[in-house]
Copies of this chain bind each other. A is one copy, B any other.
Amino acid sequence: MTRMEQYLDEHRGRFEEELCQLLRIPSISADPGCSQDIRRAAQWVADRLGRLGLAAEIIETSGHPLIYAESEPVEAAPTALVYGHYDVQPPDPLDRWISPPFEPQIRDGSIYARGATDDKGQMLTHILSVEAWRATQERLPLNLRFIIEGEEEVGSSALATFLDEHGDRLACDCVVISDGAQFGPGQPAITYGLRGIAYYELRLQGPRRDLHSGSFGGTVTNPANALTRMLAALSDAEGRIQIPGFYDDVVPLSGEERRRLAELPFDEDRFYRQLGVSGGMGEAGYTVLERRWARPTYDINGLTAGYQGDGAKTVIPASAAAKFSFRLVPHQDPEKISRGLEAFLRSLCPPGIQMELVVHHGSPATVVSLDSPYIQAAARAIEAAFGRPPVYTREGGSIPIVTAFHHKLKADTLLLGWGQDDDNAHAPNEKLCLADFHRGIRASARLWEELGRLGKDSRQASRPPAS
């Protein structure tokens, strides 16, 4: 790997410049005003893959386009499918960004921009590693496929449809995904489990117009009051969800897994201090890591009602709305959760209020077996690039499409996050440490070698149990 390492060193500056190019495109999938930028980002990725000598194409969908690319066949070698996404979260609140979200800026060894860690920077490591192979080696050591989508932040529906209809084009032995965080600075990790998600919007309509709160207070049901009461009733004080049957299908944590999680170095005080809070809260009887990775949660993601400007307005708002979501664990079913939620909310809805529950998206949780030879190959690649073996973790977040890969392709998913927990994914001042970016490229290049060595036989042995 010496020539390759030298190549990676020599091209650091240009790799960073390429990342900046992609970060400058405001490809916000949730914003209908960004459709041209979404297309520009898709084209950028397709062009970049094409320049590697891969057969790359933009696939039109009913939503944002997909990019698919594949390398020339390599006999008797396994097939890895790289997944990533070129779309990003909305950048608001804008006034909290130190530098503008779509004008990347390097400060203290990190690059700051929306999408730096989630997922443009991490996705790019697997593209640039192929460049290094092309430049320094005779041929790729395995069959590589790329599927890059533009709707990860809004539910991946186009890719899910493609997977249903053309899943054979994505057939592979393992799926490689870098869209998460290491366990901590200097401590890489392989993530073997993800929580699922069920995301909702609750809209309450009261009187047909805003009313003067003096003239009408005490007579009509105030939708904002009703909203707080209904949302508050969804959990108890420590966050345990009160929807009847919500916990029925939850797989309890095994003693073995709890022991392994407890062995991970984790400083609770430091964790809270970094977030700027004196402490937190959560389900009694579980550690912070268990609550974070392997227990369901309920979080309100947005509230809106009435007057939100400066000063005071004495109004009973005509309507009130909330966005909120549950994180799910094996084997909770989002559709069953939706049914239970709707029935529970209807039972709580007071007279004089019309209630609408919008189901935004849902995806079950997934867990991969640690016995997988692909996971072991990834561990060797990571150790070579980061100088330290990875720890094995679960992740509180959701990558809904991972669950679909897991179930449809019967392939192991390798979740190799190059980011850090404090990268501000989904928040102002998102960043990616440049040292992690370059180590990610190195680990990716090494991963192709390790996977190539496994040959074609490994897959059958590693079929994961359904989760």
Name the CB-closest residue of B to A290: B218
User: Is B282 a contact of A352 with CB atoms below 8 Å?
Assistant: no
Identify which of B297, B320, B421, B428 contacts A210 (C-beta below 8 A).
B428
User: Is B309 a contact of A213 with CB atoms below 8 Å?
Assistant: no
User: In this assembly, does A311 line the interface, its C-beta being within 8 Å of a C-beta of chain B?
Assistant: yes
Whether A300 contacts B306 in the complex (CB less than 8 A), given A212-B425, A325-B213, comes out as yes
User: In this assembly, does A298 line the interface, its C-beta being within 8 Å of a C-beta of chain B?
Assistant: yes
User: Is A427 a contact of B209 with CB atoms below 8 Å?
Assistant: yes
User: Is A314 a contact of B301 with CB atoms below 8 Å?
Assistant: yes
Identify which of B209, B288, B361 contacts A428 (C-beta below 8 A).
B209
User: Is A301 a contact of B317 with CB atoms below 8 Å?
Assistant: yes
Whether A361 contacts B283 in the complex (CB less than 8 A), given A215-B181, A229-B237, A301-B306, comes out as no
User: In this assembly, does A31 line the interface, its C-beta being within 8 Å of a C-beta of chain B?
Assistant: yes
A447 CB, min distance to chain B CBs, angstroms = 24
User: In this assembly, does A350 line the interface, its C-beta being within 8 Å of a C-beta of chain B?
Assistant: yes
User: Is A212 a contact of B277 with CB atoms below 8 Å?
Assistant: no
Whether A307 contacts B311 in the complex (CB less than 8 A), given A280-B219, A398-B214, comes out as no
Question: In the bound complex, how far is the Cα of B312 from the Cα of A37, in angstroms?
Answer: 19
User: In this assembly, does A313 line the interface, its C-beta being within 8 Å of a C-beta of chain B?
Assistant: yes
> Contacts of A351 on B, CB cut-off 8 Å?
278-281
User: Is A215 a contact of B425 with CB atoms below 8 Å?
Assistant: yes
User: In this assembly, does A303 line the interface, its C-beta being within 8 Å of a C-beta of chain B?
Assistant: yes
Which of A197, A235, A307, A322 has the most chain B CB atoms closer than 10 A to its own CB?
A: A307
Identify which of B297, B305, B421 contacts A217 (C-beta below 8 A).
B297
Query: A88-96, A105-113, A245-253: which one contacts chain B?
Result: A88-96
User: Is A217 a contact of B396 with CB atoms below 8 Å?
Assistant: yes
Interface members, chain A 287-305 (any B CB < 8 Å): 288, 291-292, 295-305
User: Is B277 a contact of A206 with CB atoms below 8 Å?
Assistant: yes
User: In this assembly, does A52 line the interface, its C-beta being within 8 Å of a C-beta of chain B?
Assistant: no
Interface members, chain A 423-440 (any B CB < 8 Å): 424-429
User: In this assembly, does A155 line the interface, its C-beta being within 8 Å of a C-beta of chain B?
Assistant: yes
What secondary structure prevails in chain A residues at the interface with B? Answer: loop
Counting every copy of the chain, the complex holds: 2
> Contacts of A233 on B, CB cut-off 8 Å?
232
Query: CB-defined interface of A314-351 with B at 8 Å, one 1/0 digit per residue?
Result: 11111010110101000000000000000000000011
Query: A74-82, A268-276, A369-377: which one contacts chain B?
Result: A268-276
User: Is B154 a contact of A292 with CB atoms below 8 Å?
Assistant: no
User: Is A222 a contact of B299 with CB atoms below 8 Å?
Assistant: yes
User: In this assembly, does A195 line the interface, its C-beta being within 8 Å of a C-beta of chain B?
Assistant: yes
Whether A214 contacts B396 in the complex (CB less than 8 A), given A278-B352, A281-B350, comes out as yes
Question: In the bound complex, how far is the Cα of B209 from the Cα of A90, in angstroms?
Answer: 15
User: Is A227 a contact of B303 with CB atoms below 8 Å?
Assistant: yes
User: Is A309 a contact of B424 with CB atoms below 8 Å?
Assistant: no
Question: In the bound complex, how far is the Cα of B350 from the Cα of A282, in angstroms?
Answer: 11
User: Is A314 a contact of B199 with CB atoms below 8 Å?
Assistant: yes
> Contacts of A71 on B, CB cut-off 8 Å?
none
Name the CB-closest residue of B to A291: B218
User: In this assembly, does A397 line the interface, its C-beta being within 8 Å of a C-beta of chain B?
Assistant: yes
Question: In the bound complex, how far is the Cα of B395 from the Cα of A397, in angstroms?
Answer: 52
User: In this assembly, does A211 line the interface, its C-beta being within 8 Å of a C-beta of chain B?
Assistant: yes
> Contacts of A276 on B, CB cut-off 8 Å?
207-209
User: Is A325 a contact of B314 with CB atoms below 8 Å?
Assistant: yes
A283 CB, min distance to chain B CBs, angstroms = 7
Name the CB-closest residue of B to A29: B311
> Contacts of A325 on B, CB cut-off 8 Å?
213, 312, 314
> Contacts of A322 on B, CB cut-off 8 Å?
224
Query: CB-defined interface of A21-33 with B at 8 Å, one 1/0 digit per residue?
Result: 0000000011110
Name the CB-closest residue of B to A303: B305
User: In this assembly, does A100 line the interface, its C-beta being within 8 Å of a C-beta of chain B?
Assistant: no
> Contacts of A360 on B, CB cut-off 8 Å?
311-312
> Contacts of A224 on B, CB cut-off 8 Å?
299-303, 322
Q: List 18 A-B contacts (CB under 8 A).
A: A90-B309, A96-B209, A154-B311, A207-B276, A207-B277, A209-B276, A209-B428, A209-B429, A211-B275, A213-B426, A215-B395, A216-B275, A218-B292, A221-B281, A224-B301, A224-B322, A299-B316, A302-B306
Q: Please provide the 3 A-B residue pairs with the shortest distance between their CB atoms, ordered closest to farther.
A: A214-B397, A208-B276, A30-B311
